[in-house]
Structure 1
Amino acid sequence: MWRSVVGKLWITIIILVTLVLILLNLFLNEQVEKTYVRDQKKSLEQLAAEIQKKFNQPGQDQIQYLNNVLQVSELFHTYIVTLDSSGSVSNYGVSPHVPNVPWQEVLSQKDLNRVIKGETVFIKGKVQDRDPNQFPFLKNDVLLVAVPHIVGGKTVGAIVLYQTQEQLSETDIKRWIFYSSLIGITLTTIFAFFLSTRITLPLIQMKKAVEKMARGEFSIRVPVRYHEQDEIADLSMTFNRMAAQLEDSIHQLSQEKEQLASILKSMSDGVLTISKYGKIVLSNPVADQFLSLWEGETQKNTLPPPLQDLFNKVTDDQKEYTGDISENGRTWVVVMSLLYTENQVRGVVAVLRDVTEERRLDKMRKDFVANVSHELRTPLQMLQGYSEALMDDIAETPEERRELAQVINEESQRMSRLVRELLDLARMESGHIQIEPIELPLNELVLRVIRKFQGLARERQVQLCADLGDSLPMVYWDEDKIEQVLTNLVDNAIRHTPSQGSVTVHAYFQNKKVYLEIEDTGSGIPEEDLPFVFERFYKADKARTRGQSGGTGLGLSIARHLVNAHRGNITVKSQLGKGATFRVELPVRVKTEMG
């Protein structure tokens, strides 16, 4: 209960009221006792003095007078007894209803001697050692006044006047004061509980509202008692304003957080927020993919070794750093900067960008420039040299001049073919390949390409043949482009097959796909060069060189783009010294973008 405001307030009010009532009860009892005893004592003393005075007047019938007084005094619950000097009841009389009492024990001999000497003795309280059942009139408190009994100027005993507290007396008054105090405490308890509950009800509602807000329910409000414009109502309205402002702030923060999360999620670059202790606080999906490369090697939320080294440099030197990280054949550029809060470093932010493709394209660009320069430099030098020879009349006979002119013509055609294929390849790589499929028989297409190269094959003493499977379907392809693919592959196979070798074109239908395979018995392609054969200006430094074949190095790259445009796939299998097989996989019908 002491942990509750209601309990504390309730108990505090009860304790305060109880203390006040107890003190008031003690004070009233004291005042009642003093007032009651004082008044009763004064009355008894006045009556005793009057009786004593009458006894001292000569000629009075003292016994008759005393009897009259005794009868009247009993009407006011006052009893009179006359005692002799030994303490026994004298013959002067006693109140009619006073039983035979050993007055020597009510008024001790010592007190009696004091009265005989002329003093007035007052006694209040219970008579000691008296049995209430034997002397019922003595069971209550007694107020007793004893004065000297003087007859003829001589003290013969004592006149005793006493009252018992049988009626509504001091004891009754004290008892009612006590009962009133109990009733006051009970009513105070009920009132205190009601008051404390009413006062603390808004506080309890605020406590529940705060607990709900701690659980994330920021829309909670406390009811306001507008008819009671007190401090608690003001506190409730202030709490509601605070809750509204807090809800609005949380809503704005939530929106900003969601917006930031969406931005981070949609970023193509990886973003990491790192605490000043080197622990990962926030990361987006791209950064998670980067960190997954070290999964199992580092603990959760811990930087991988390459990032840890860069983090140490940034925090030690207090400046931005940029570095490259390479892992599993991929390369990332990492930019790491410090984060500040009130001029205090609170962490580091790292931005990661996968530049593998950019680096590859940059290398391809450089290789492309180098290859084009190399391919063009040789024919240009030959054109320049032979043209200068013609101009200087080095060739003396017409046959020599025709030979020089033929070389110039062949090199110019080679340059023209190179430029044309470069333009075609550039157009294909930019996505400008227009497929115009028509329905055509597959076997006729293959045989037409075979017939085209029979002369070149005989010239090089290479056997060229076709292996056509059964039930070849009608296909729906772009005839010119597929013929260009087969032309490039067959031409490439013949040029790289030595004399007495063979080139076979296989065509078959399987699993709803059409397969075209160009198999040769040439020297083959080294295994380490296989992943690069479809790149521009591919050149293996062993058996297949353009110096021997006269190719431009662009045919396979062009073939790949044309096959991909038909939603197909082209692969190569080869072993050094055992020839090569290029395999083209195409659907029976090509689906164009128009349907």
Structure 2
Amino acid sequence: MFQSARVKLTAWYLLIIMLISIFFSAVIYNVLTHEFNRILRIEQLKRQGLPFGDDILRHGIRIIPPHPEVIQNAKERLLAILGIVNLGIFGFSGIAGYFLAGRTLRPIKEMVDEQNRFITDASHELRTPITSIKTETEVNLRDRKISKDVKKIMKSNLEDINNLQTLSDNLIRLTQYQRSNGNIVLVETSLKKIADKACKKVANLAKHKKITMNNKIQNCTIVGDRQSLLEAFVIFLDNAIKYSPKNTSVMLDSKINNYSVVVNIKDEGIGIDKKEIPHIFERFYRVDKSRTKTSVEGFGLGLSIAKQIIDKHNGKISVESGVGKGTTFSVQLPKR
């Protein structure tokens, strides 16, 4: 992430410096060209027999008027010199800009790294007490002496504990994928097998909502990390099912070209407002509940994790949606 930002910042530095350099080069060239042309006009007047003479005498020294070819050669040399100077400025500015961009982004990178370390450490520290509370609650729920009201409260508490555990696990995975390597191991793998396995993982949820899964993914070999890609597709399918009404369908299909494969996950759900689409991959972002009739559990981390996974595979995600028109997530992945 920061390497990409560093390159972009260097490009902006370089663009600004080169615009200034080219502007001043153009000014210098125009001024000197104007002077050359003025000298040529004076020479032409002299040759026409006007009171300039064939040569000019200054302080006892005869100065022979320049020939037009000499002036033209001087212009060409000036243009070449300015071009070389600008190329030198371009090279030096690129190196210096890259260095300065790194220095500029370093404090931000250190702050983000510290934040990610805190999130990871805090999530790990929470795992032990959460697991302990969950175990004790599950044991107490098996006690027949507990009244129904107490059991009801404990079941509610257990749901909240499970949500906290999910949040903790998601935060750890998100910070892992945000690292430079992201724990990604790239190997040749079958896209169809990953899609089939992802559909099986969400089959119970789809069955509960009476949603039909149409998997039309073509057999294709890609280079990727099986486990992380499986997690990403499960997230997309899970979202498609959760935000779809009952008795609808979710479709998966693929388009293969020479260099990449595009996987489309299309649902018939509530859709997303166009103003919300640029933000759906942000951490903890949830679509405005007032615009939806469906109450969906979650913390808004799933799509953030999915995007990090696809980014680590040098892929792209695009979204087409509208309120009440369903949503299509298109995932483009490079082939082997």
Question: Aligned partners of 1:493, 1:587: CA distance in 2, in Å?
Answer: 24
Could you say what secondary structure the match of 1:408 adopts? Answer: helix
Partner of 2:239: 492
Partner of 1:77: none
Partner of 1:419: 168
Question: Is residue 2:314 matched to residue 1:567?
Answer: yes
Partner of 1:535: 282
Give unpaired runs (5+ residues) of structure 2: 1-8, 28-102
Tell whether the 8 Å contact from 1:497 to 1:521 is kept in structure 2 after alignment.
yes
Equivalent runs, 1:299-378 vs 2, <5 Å: none
- Among 249, 264, 267, which residue is 1:520 paired with? 267
Residue-by-residue CA offset, 1:187-213 (whole Å, 9 max, x unaligned) = xxxxxxxxxxxxxxxxxxxxxxxxxxx
- Among 185, 188, 192, which residue is 1:439 paired with? 188
Q: 1:491 to 1:543 in 2, by over 3 A?
A: farther
Deviation at 1:496, TM superposition (A): 0.6
Deviation at 1:512, TM superposition (A): 3.0
Residue-by-residue CA offset, 1:309-352 (whole Å, 9 max, x unaligned) = xxxxxxxxxxxxxxxxxxxxxxxxxxxxxxxxxxxxxxxxxxxx
- Higher strand proportion, which one? 1
Deviation at 1:399, TM superposition (A): 2.9
Deviation at 1:403, TM superposition (A): 2.4
Could you say what secondary structure the match of 1:490 adopts? Answer: helix
Tell whether the 8 Å contact from 1:539 to 1:546 is kept in structure 2 after alignment.
no
Deviation at 1:551, TM superposition (A): 1.5
Deviation at 1:572, TM superposition (A): 1.0
Partner of 1:109: none
Question: Aligned partners of 1:290, 1:529: CA distance in 2, in Å?
Answer: 36
Equivalent runs, 1:31-430 vs 2, <5 Å: 285=14, 288=17, 398-430=147-179
Amino acid at match of 1:497: S
Tell whether the 8 Å contact from 1:539 to 1:545 is kept in structure 2 after alignment.
no
Aligned length: 223
Q: 1:514 to 1:558 in 2, by over 3 A?
A: same
Question: Aligned partners of 2:178, 2:245: CA distance in 1, in Å?
Answer: 33
Q: 1:400 to 1:546 in 2, by over 3 A?
A: farther
- Among 568, 573, 576, which residue is 2:323 paired with? 576
Q: 1:538 to 1:531 in 2, by over 3 A?
A: same
Q: 1:291 to 1:543 in 2, by over 3 A?
A: farther
Could you say what secondary structure the match of 1:548 adopts? Answer: coil
Deviation at 1:520, TM superposition (A): 0.6
Tell whether the 8 Å contact from 1:506 to 1:518 is kept in structure 2 after alignment.
yes
Let me know the Cα RMSD of the aligned residues: 4.0
Deviation at 1:488, TM superposition (A): 0.5
Give unpaired runs (5+ residues) of structure 1: 1-266, 271-283, 301-352, 391-395, 590-595
Could you say what secondary structure the match of 2:223 adopts? Answer: strand
Q: 1:428 to 1:419 in 2, by over 3 A?
A: same
Partner of 2:225: 478
Q: 1:401 to 1:482 in 2, by over 3 A?
A: same
Question: Aligned partners of 1:505, 1:543: CA distance in 2, in Å?
Answer: 29
Q: 1:508 to 1:398 in 2, by over 3 A?
A: farther
With structure 1 as the length reference, what TM-score do the two structures score?
A: 0.33
Q: 1:286 to 1:445 in 2, by over 3 A?
A: closer
Q: 1:399 to 1:438 in 2, by over 3 A?
A: farther
Amino acid at match of 1:473: C
Could you say what secondary structure the match of 1:456 adopts? Answer: helix
With structure 2 as the length reference, what TM-score do the two structures score?
A: 0.56
The structure number with the bigger radius of gyration is 1
Residue-by-residue CA offset, 1:31-72 (whole Å, 9 max, x unaligned) = xxxxxxxxxxxxxxxxxxxxxxxxxxxxxxxxxxxxxxxxxx
Question: Aligned partners of 1:543, 1:500: CA distance in 2, in Å?
Answer: 23
Could you say what secondary structure the match of 2:275 adopts? Answer: helix
Amino acid at match of 1:463: T
- Higher helix proportion, which one? 2
**Whose RCO is larger (CA < 8 A, sep 6+)?**
2
Deviation at 1:405, TM superposition (A): 2.0
Question: Aligned partners of 2:263, 2:234: CA distance in 1, in Å?
Answer: 12
Tell whether the 8 Å contact from 1:461 to 1:499 is kept in structure 2 after alignment.
yes
Could you say what secondary structure the match of 1:585 adopts? Answer: strand
Q: Percent identity?
A: 27
Question: Is residue 2:205 matched to residue 1:460?
Answer: no
Q: 1:430 to 1:534 in 2, by over 3 A?
A: same
Q: 1:565 to 1:453 in 2, by over 3 A?
A: same
Deviation at 1:510, TM superposition (A): 2.2
Q: 1:402 to 1:531 in 2, by over 3 A?
A: same
